[in-house]
Chain A
C-alpha cells in the first residue's frame, strides 16, 4: 500500500497491508502532528503534495527498502490537506521475519521519505502560518 490520504489514516489498515504469516515482526512508525515547533504553539498542520509524483517517490522508498532488505515488506500512507494536532500525518508499517530488519528498514523508510518525497508542511499558529522544511 502506497497512499496519499485526505482524511484520518487507518493505522490498522496500513499494518494489515504488510501482514504475512512468515513475519515475526510488524513495526509501525506513526508521525503525529505536534502542538509546538521551537517553543511556538501550533494549532494545526496543512500538508500539500505533488500528486502523482509524490506517490511515485513513495513507491521508490518502498522499492529501495525492498532492495536493501529483500525479506521486508513496507506500506506507507501520508496525509494531505488539514491535519489536527494529535492526528497521524504519516504511517509507515514494516513487516519482517525478525525485528532487527524491521527497525532498520522503518528508520530508513521515514528518513528517505522526508528527504525525497515532494510533500510540504505548513504550520498554522494563533497569529500566522509558515511552511516548515525538514532538517537534513
Chain B
C-alpha cells in the first residue's frame, strides 16, 4: 500500500490511554494498540501516552481511551478523573473520548456499585445513567451501528459484553447502535451512546480490533478529516468468522 504511508505526512497524533491499572482488565488496551497502528500504517506519527492515577492527563491528546474494570477500580478512577478535570477540557477542545464498559459507565451521569447499590456520580460527559441489572450480560454481542460510516458489512459491530450494570440513555445522547444479538445498554434494543466526539459502548474484543470501521470513525472524529481505507484481509476474515459464530450460536 505505497500511497497510504504518505497520507499522514508525519503528523503527530497523541492517543491517551487512561488509567490502564484501573480500567484495563478486559484487554481494552488493545483499542490503543489498534489506533496507534492504524495511524502509523497511514503515515501519521502516533504517540501513545499511558496515564496512571496521580499523573495529570495531557491536554495535547486527540483521542482518550477508557476501558473496563472492577467496582473498586471504577470508583477510584472516577474520583481521580474528576479531580484531574482533563477529560472535560479534552472534550471542550474537540478531542475524541472512547470509553468501554466500566469506562462508559463512569463518563455517564451516575452508576452503582456493590451489593447495596451505592450510587456514584459519574463525570457527566454522556447523558446516561447506570444501575445494577437483573442478570449479568455475558457473551458475544452483535449490533448494527447507526453511524454515517456504517455502510454494508462494516455496519455490523461485533464484540464480547460482560457487565452487571444496565445503562439507560437520556435525551442528550443517541444510541451508538441497535442490538441484533445480546443485551447492550439495558435490554431496550440499544447499545452504547454517542454525543459529539464522546462515545461509550459495552463490547470488549477489543472492540476496535474487531471493528476497524469504528476505529477509523473515531480517528476521523479526532482529526476532523477523511482517512483512506486500509484493507487488511486478516481482519476481514476475523469479522466473517465472528459474525458467523454469533449468528450460528444466537447465544
Partners in one complex: no
Task: List the interface of chain A (C-beta within 8 A of B).
Answer: none
